[in-house]
Amino acid sequence: MASIFSLKKPEIAIDFGTANVRVVHRSDGILFDEPSLCCFTGPSGAERLLAAGQSARAMVDRTPSHMRIKRPLRRGVLQDIDAATHMLSYALRCAMGRTRLGRTRVLIGVPSDATQAERAALLTAASDAGLASVRLVPEPLAAAIGAELPIERPSGTMIVECGAGTSEVAIISLGGICGTRSVRVGGASLARAIADDLHLRHKLLVGDLTAERVMEEYSNHAQNGDRSVPIEVKGRSLRTQMPAILSLSCAELDLVAEKHFRVIIEAVRQLLSETPPELSHDILADGIVLTGGGALSPLLGSLMSKETGLSVRTAADACGCVVRGLQAMLLH
């Protein structure tokens, strides 16, 4: 841990997620927070960046044939080095202006189960974006710090970081990770599951942004106690091939979400089954803490508590735990 906390100024950290990229400065806070998306134009091999971030998001499912939307990461890991380089360059330019990036030391969060090849690809993209000194930090550890959990004490803490591309379960004690499980499901795969369900059961074809909006409204209704309010979905009917509108109930979406969440809960059960007795005792006393966007759904917490018999709580500002933890690492 000492090497992580010993960076010299100037210091920034990057939460490079499947859904969003956030750049945070040790004293100035979050400098950049936009969707992790790029739009390219031109022939393959000679592509030119047309837009990135929020501007690219507005183009999703609306581009002509000569434009392509790319996501640098999928399921939590880098899948396109070129797109990742452009996304990082754009984020750093917006956040840092004309600062000489080669002198900037940076922390970047990564899934705890990222392979050496996946880590090397991310470091390559960071280097190509102009960053010379980069350290990779396990995202569950950053999330635990951001959630203000007492990770330095000799006691086990279980955290479930529910990101857009991957969900990670970790047990942390004495400032380090004692055990971890990761599943490549998250908010993005839940949105795809909702789109698939609309396709199969309702014969309604929807785009990525619509599926994401439905997922967000479903979560908001559940949190606010508005489950009786229907969710309006617009798409194209596969029966008539015409534009159509459908009203979905939260109860219908519960069926899709429950199947999705059970994959995460099974990862929790697997890790608990392999946990040493003393750490198990600690977790029994303190319960499980949820972070990330998926933590905002009350259904996940209630199902997890029912299946494990443990108390489950959602961290304050669950979506910002990783980036807050990264900033805390810069401050100490």
Whether residues 35 and 130 share a domain: the answer is yes
Q: Which of 225, 252, 279 is the last residue of a domain?
A: 252
Query: Count of domains in the chain?
Result: 3
Whether residues 239 and 270 share a domain: the answer is no
**In CATH, what number is assigned to the domain containing residue 224?**
3.90.640.10
Whether residues 174 and 72 share a domain: the answer is no
Contact 213, 207 (CB under 8 A): no
Whether residues 131 and 273 share a domain: the answer is no
Whether residues 50 and 174 share a domain: the answer is no
Beta strands at 243-248 and 133-138: parallel, antiparallel or unpaired: unpaired
**In CATH, what number is assigned to the domain containing residue 26?**
3.30.420.40
Domain region containing 221 = 187-252
How far is Cα 148 from Cα 306, in angstroms, rounded to an integer?
A: 25
Q: Looking at residue 152, what is its pLDDT?
A: 94
- For the segment 96-129, what is each residue's pLDDT rounded down to a tens digit? 886 666 677 899 999 998 999 999 999 999 999 9
Whether residues 196 and 218 share a domain: the answer is yes
- For the segment 256-276, what is each residue's pLDDT rounded down to a tens digit? 999 999 999 999 999 999 999
Whether residues 49 and 79 share a domain: the answer is yes
Whether residues 42 and 180 share a domain: the answer is no
Whether residues 23 and 114 share a domain: the answer is yes
| Band (3; pLDDT cuts 50, 70, 90) | very low
Note if the pTM is more than 0.85: yes
234-237 long-range contacts, CB within 8 A, separation 24+: 234/206, 234/210, 235/198, 235/204, 235/205, 235/206, 235/207, 235/210, 236/204, 236/205, 236/206, 237/203, 237/204, 237/205
